[in-house]
Amino acid sequence: MNKVRVGFFSFTEVTDPGEHHAYNRWHQLDHVPENRALPGIAHGQRWVRTPACRERHRPSAEPALDRIHYVTLYLMTAPVERTLDEFRNLGARLAAIGPRFHRFRESHLNGPFLFVQARVHPRVLVAPEALPYRPQRGVYVSCFDVPDPAEYDAVTEWLDRTRFPDALEVPGVAGVWSFVSSPPRGPGPSRPDPQADPYALPPGRVVNVYYLDEPPLQVADELRARSPEWDAAGRGLDPEIRLRRLVAGPFESIDPWNWDWFEDA
């Protein structure tokens, strides 16, 4: 039984090219430790989309997401509402202090996603629920919307029976955790009210995080190379189903004080 109920994601752009060092120092040495100390936070980690990783990214349906540099994931336990309140309140308190919150950043997609399932390759040995706590070289993140609620079940069935098993056979893929904003309801797409929901995530937004044992660029190239083979073998998603791609690409793990990826960019 997984103690994690929610994954809180933030897909972030550093808006001043000269602020990456300051941002990473603040986030890794101040922000993440403060959040991980909250009772309802089981884990928190951030990965970087280096210039080389950016070349492997597929264009987003939302151009702002093509500008992101980092993705952060906090794993949250029950009671979820209290955890989210404490998480939000801590951010507000640190922001009020000034130096305790970085100003040159913009999150282009953020909010809580419900945990759906976890899988690992048998060689990994640890339980699927333990995967995020295991060292990794990076992640491959796939985030997309299912615009038609009537197609959501078909998409999740395809992921469960076909895409996840195929991806786990790619060398370097240790496992995957899957999340959704909320299952779609009703006959047509809807969006939550931003006044009632501060994160206002549309239903049917899926995020899959593949944890990697090999260099993310290498795994991303292998995933891309195999996709046509899977499609040709009839293992791709039904071509009648249209997904709205938001993020698809590799991110590298971050070592403390090694923050020089963008100095020559």
pLDDT at 91 over 90: no
Q: Where are the beta strands (DSSP E) in the chain?
A: 4-14, 41-48, 70-77, 105-120, 138-145, 173-180, 205-212, 244-253
Fold entry, domain 4-253: Alpha-Beta Plaits (3.30.70)
Global pTM value: 0.93
Of 235, 4, 9, 240, the closest CA to residue 141 belongs to: 9
- Is 76 in contact with 42 (CB distance < 8 Å)? yes
Q: How many helices (H) and strands (E) does the chain have?
A: 7, 8
- Is 179 in contact with 113 (CB distance < 8 Å)? yes
Q: What is the pLDDT of residues 31-68, one digit of tens each?
A: 999 999 999 999 999 999 999 999 989 999 999 999 99
How many angstroms separate the CA atoms of 127 and 258, rounded? 30
pLDDT at 229 over 70: yes
Torsion of CA 102, 215, 118, 64, to 10 degrees: 40
Read off φ and ψ for residue 146, nearest 5 degrees: -105, 95
Amino acid at 236: G
- Is 44 in contact with 73 (CB distance < 8 Å)? yes
- Is 181 in contact with 113 (CB distance < 8 Å)? yes
pLDDT band with cut points at 50, 70 and 90 for residue 95:
confident
For the chain, what are the domain ranges? 4-253
Kindly state the tokens that stand for 23.
């941002």
* Secondary structure string (H, E, C) spanning 120-151: ECHHHCCCHHHHHHCCCCEEEEEEEECCCHHH
- Residue 189: per-residue pLDDT: 37
Kindly state the tokens that stand for 171.
């060398």
- Residue 175: per-residue pLDDT: 98
